[in-house]
């Protein structure tokens, strides 16, 4: 099952909602939307700085993660970035694949 690191920054509208329902309310909302699309939440954290929220999510496929990202961004409350995470074993498999690549200008 693909694993994603989600980083989110709240807009003013989103921050107001966070203050109103709290961190546990937002964690529960993430768990609900993830579960509805067949996924699971591995972890959820809030932070200081440019990124307000981090979560590691498992989804059955990339399309499910894309659907969530589109819905969240369309709300106007949160700007997100999702990064696909690979296991060391997946990197081992990738390293063994034969790839012919011609760098620019060669």
Tell me if 13 sits within 8 A of 77, measured CB to CB. Answer: yes
Percent with pLDDT over 90 in the chain: 98
pTM for the whole structure: 0.87
User: What's the total number of domains in the chain?
Assistant: 1
105 located within any domain: no
Tell me if 64 sits within 8 A of 70, measured CB to CB. Answer: no
Residue 75: domain span: 3-87
Q: Please tell me whether residue 79 adopts helix, strand or coil conformation.
A: strand
Tell me if 80 sits within 8 A of 6, measured CB to CB. Answer: yes
Mean pLDDT score of the chain: 95
Tell me if 74 sits within 8 A of 45, measured CB to CB. Answer: no
23-55: pLDDT as tens digits: 999 999 999 999 999 999 999 999 999 999 999
H-type helices in 7-83, by residue range? 12-36, 62-74
Return the DSSP state at 37. Answer: T
What CATH number corresponds to the domain at position 68?
3.30.70.920
16 located within any domain: yes
Residue 56 confidence (pLDDT) above 90: yes
26 located within any domain: yes
Residue 106 confidence (pLDDT) above 90: no
């Amino acid at each position: 099952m693909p694993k994603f690191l989600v980083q989110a920054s709240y807009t003013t509208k989103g921050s107001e909602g966070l203050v109103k329902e709290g961190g546990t309310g937002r964690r529960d909302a993430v768990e609900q939307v993830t579960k509805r699309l067949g996924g699971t939440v591995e972890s959820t954290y809030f932070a200081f700085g440019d990124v307000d929220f981090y979560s590691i999510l498992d989804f059955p496929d990339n399309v499910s993660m894309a659907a969530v990202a589109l819905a969240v961004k369309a709300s106007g409350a949160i700007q997100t970035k999702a990064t696909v995470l690979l296991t060391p074993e997946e990197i081992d498999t990738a390293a063994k694949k034969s790839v012919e690549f011609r760098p620019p200008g060669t």
